[in-house]
Chains A and B, each alone.
Chain A
Amino acid sequence: AQSVTQLDSQVPVFEEAPVELRCNYSSSVSVYLFWYVQYPNQGLQLLLKYLSGSTLVKGINGFEAEFNKSQTSFHLRKPSVHISDTAEYFCAVSDYGNAGNMLTFGGGTRLMVKP
């Protein structure tokens, strides 16, 4: 069975500082990995995804993530955050395993950008 752990439930950071949101996953087969963002009172939208190839993936709004197979991690980074990045961020994993087409999410990390 697949599972996703987001190690930090809240991350406070000052504007223009760098940030890393951590995500670890477990799965018995090859995986596809996603980061989604949810702004207040809105649905989820895709930030970026890793399917195959280069382990460094670039997404929207200046975010990027690095897939590390040996550490089963997919951490999200941004070199300089803005107030508008305040939101909840979800890591998700999808695979071809016994669970079929399941898409499993982590518990979420609330990013709070302070002026």
Chain B
Amino acid sequence: DVKVTQSSRYLVKRTGEKVFLECVQDMDHENMFWYRQDPGLGLRLIYFSYDVKMKEKGDIPEGYSVSREKKERFSLILESASTNQTSMYLCASRTTVNTEAFFGQGTRLTVV
């Protein structure tokens, strides 16, 4: 089975902290994605990566950065966490444009 693993299910951080969310996939997928999920807004794409060290901004990249140093790992970084970044964060990976994306279980981040 394809597995996408997010490092934490729940995380509480303080305003201004630098936060790292880690995602690892075990299927050698080229493409990886970070979304945030908020009630009524669905899933909004923050960043995606189509290869090692390659990244593209999604719809809401402000306040976030990403890192992909190895094919299997895609990290989301909140440079200085703010309360409006409290949300559910979902990581996904897939092979190419017409294939299914596989999702992790999500990280519920609370910034206090």
A-to-B contact residues, CB < 8 Å? 6, 9, 32, 34, 36, 42-46, 49, 51, 90, 92, 94-96, 99-108
A/B pair count, beta carbons within 8 Å: 62
Given known pairs A6-B42, A43-B105, A90-B42, the reply for A103 and B100 (CB within 8 Å) is no
- B contact residues, range: 20 to 34
Q: Are A43 and B106 neighbours in the complex by a CB distance under 8 Å?
A: yes
Q: What are 23 contact pairs spanning A and B, CB under 8 A?
A: A32-B97, A32-B98, A34-B100, A36-B103, A43-B4, A44-B90, A44-B103, A45-B103, A49-B100, A92-B101, A94-B98, A100-B50, A101-B48, A101-B50, A101-B96, A102-B58, A103-B33, A103-B94, A103-B101, A104-B45, A105-B45, A107-B41, A107-B42
B-to-A contact residues, CB < 8 Å? 4, 31, 33, 35, 40-45, 48, 50, 56, 58-59, 90, 92, 94, 96-98, 100-101, 103-106
Q: Are B98 and A51 neighbours in the complex by a CB distance under 8 Å?
A: yes
Q: How far is the CB of A57 from chain B (nearest CB, A)?
A: 13
Q: Are B56 and A105 neighbours in the complex by a CB distance under 8 Å?
A: no
Chain A contact residues: over half helix, strand or loop, or mixed?
strand
Kindly identify which residue among B48, B90, B100 contacts A43, using a CB–CB cutoff of 8 Å.
B90
Kindly identify which residue among B40, B42, B98, B106 contacts A105, using a CB–CB cutoff of 8 Å.
B42
Given known pairs A32-B97, A49-B100, A94-B97, the reply for A106 and B90 (CB within 8 Å) is no
Q: Considering the chains assembled together, what is the distance between the CA atoms of A7 and B45 in angstroms?
A: 20
Nearest residue (CB) in B for A96 is B97
Q: Return chain B residues, CB-CB under 8 Å to A99.
A: 56
Which 3 interchain pairs have the tightest Cβ spacing? Answer: A107-B42, A105-B43, A43-B103
